[in-house]
Structure 1
């Protein structure tokens, strides 16, 4: 990697390819693969990642909201796109850009049917979401007859898949609950298929589900965090490569005397003489205040440098006492050698949060395209 002159998120597409191939190796050759690129592709670059996934052979992409799907379509991406949380106010754009909605309630189904009919759609592809225990979005087991009655002979829409979401697929202590969810989904999907008279695709497994419950891969699987290099389990992380590396530089070095303070609210007070370095990255870039006061740390010339005091909007100060460094030196916040999961755990959170928090003002650099 080239040495950066500013705060930069480096995206390694060879790592993405490695992760995709590893996850593909865990499923049957005929099983379809959906790549989740919501939240700017987990904080990276949604268009860059989506184009690479298309090149690698992903069958579907998934976003959270219609606006994300519109961005991909305007970038020329024609791969089928599932919108996981569409809102009725965006149905006109959804249809205009050939996006496929997750239909998760009677209200959303009725509203989408109304719009599809008004726009004279024929067999518009939709996906039925079942709630099997996550209790977030989804139809209940009592809704299958209603879904079939409303859609079977409608003509405006066509159910191309039904799906659900495991609540704790990475947690071996919740295996019984996960198996109960899988069994519930089997029963619900079979009931829906019988009522429809045709068989939509089924999908339930997320990244951890792909690893831990391969018997439930059905016709398609979905992977989000695994594509970006994180598997929610140490043994899986060892098989993956982080796609994103967050780097910055040292802007200034200060000698701090005993009893002096650093940063806002004097949140750090020195017991003795130390050396601090100021870095051009802060909570406006995604490094939340929870990482301050020694919880989070960066790496400078292979050495650990804890964050001093409170995180500022555009800067953090770190302790570089005993580290051979100078202004302009490179700083690693997270990357392959110090993962985002490790960085996040210092503040009792998860890789998803720090990855998706990286501000869009941070420069993106793509390598190994």
Structure 2
């Protein structure tokens, strides 16, 4: 397929399928799986990934906002979509028209949505967000009397239909004792609130709380649906879970060599003259920089794969390029593929290892892959689709 072979991301649909099946195997039969495709499917391309997850059998999808939901609808995705973040009440009728589900985190918000829907013939399906300890959005799950009274009012609003109820775990991917106890406490708060609501006749059809960590570590908490995010894309949410599930990275980031030159010792490389050759060196210019989402703060602190061998990046990373010492790969030539993260020749570089060097998480790196980088979807080695944001 036709695309500019400067820098691109390979997206393995085989690995996506593998991860989906691994996650399905963790949860009880009949439990639904929601595909989290917010933030452009964690940088993997929201519409193609959503389409493939639907083909695999995902019953729901989730996004962060209305714009992301509209993108999926325009892309032909008809599966139920849950908006996990805030939508201004003025757009309530748009939510209904597109058949979207909206999280509701407060009585005030529910009232505002309902007010906007007065006169509408259809109801908006909502999922109630309970705060069991994340301390972000939600009705307090540990203030039963007040919350029950508030949700009784929501349940009586004729233009809102409570389809689901959910919560979020902040440390379910940790095996630390205190974190495990906190996760158990959160689940207890959630189930206690479910019991209290059942006592007043409120029984949402879909109860869900498991993110990636909880799906892997606490599958007994699956209830009616799970919401694995990062694990779907083949990355563990934390090192604590290594060995507990077989995941395969869906994304590999690759670039190409623009130029190769030989330098004598004591030659400085790139901006700031922060790197100086100690011996004769063969330096390649590679077509990836911080404008592509490859952080400048990784300068001279990372290696790439070239012909299956590790080669160090040297000097400061530039906006559109960086330099690599390829002295130990004499056969390298202009146009050769360089792997930033992913597999090549039996070796691999995990995106998690780059995140660790930055003191961040792999979510941030993958979500930061710039839109000028095309995503190439692969079945085996066959390119099935190319997503180009800039054409």
Q: Report the counterpart of residue 127 of structure 2 in structure 1.
A: 127
Question: Mapping of 1:142-181 within 5 angstroms?
Answer: 142=143, 143-173=146-176, 174-181=179-186
SS at match of 1:145: helix
Deviations 1:281-304 (A, max 9, x none): 111111011211x22221111221
TM superposition shift of 1:340? 1.4
Counterpart-to-counterpart distance in 2, 1:319 and 1:90: 53
TM superposition shift of 1:245? 1.1
Q: Report the counterpart of residue 212 of structure 2 in structure 1.
A: 207
Unaligned runs of 5+ in 1: none
Question: Mapping of 1:50-129 within 5 angstroms?
Answer: 50-88=50-88, 90-122=91-123, 124-129=124-129
Alpha-carbon contact 2:303-2:312 (below 8 Å) kept? yes
Q: Report the counterpart of residue 326 of structure 2 in structure 1.
A: 320
TM superposition shift of 1:18? 0.6
Counterpart-to-counterpart distance in 2, 1:237 and 1:344: 21
Deviations 1:178-227 (A, max 9, x none): 11111111112222232344343211111110111111111111111111
- Structure 1: which 4+ aligned runs deviate by more than 6 Å? none
TM superposition shift of 1:5? 3.1
TM superposition shift of 1:236? 4.5
Match for residue 302 of structure 1 among 308, 312, 336: 308
User: Structure 2-normalised TM-score?
Assistant: 0.88
Structure 2 vs 1, CA of residues 256 and 189 (structure 1 numbering), >3 Å: closer, same or farther?
farther
Q: Report the counterpart of residue 255 of structure 1 in structure 2.
A: 262
Alpha-carbon contact 2:292-2:370 (below 8 Å) kept? yes
TM superposition shift of 1:339? 1.9
Q: Report the counterpart of residue 185 of structure 1 in structure 2.
A: 190
Structure 2 vs 1, CA of residues 177 and 209 (structure 1 numbering), >3 Å: closer, same or farther?
same
TM superposition shift of 1:305? 1.8
Structure 2 vs 1, CA of residues 199 and 101 (structure 1 numbering), >3 Å: closer, same or farther?
closer
Q: RMSD across aligned C-alpha pairs, in angstroms? A: 2.1
SS at match of 2:153: helix
Q: Greater shift after overlay, 330-339 or 54-63?
A: 330-339
Unaligned runs of 5+ in 2: 385-391
Q: Report the counterpart of residue 230 of structure 1 in structure 2.
A: 235
Does residue 357 (structure 1) correspond to residue 368 (structure 2)? The answer is: yes
TM superposition shift of 1:238? 6.2
Counterpart-to-counterpart distance in 1, 2:255 and 2:214: 35
Q: Greater shift after overlay, 92-101 or 153-162?
A: 92-101
Q: Greater shift after overlay, 234-243 or 348-357?
A: 234-243
Structure 2 vs 1, CA of residues 256 and 57 (structure 1 numbering), >3 Å: closer, same or farther?
same
TM superposition shift of 1:352? 0.9
Counterpart-to-counterpart distance in 1, 2:17 and 2:257: 32
Alpha-carbon contact 2:298-2:358 (below 8 Å) kept? yes
Aligned residues: 367
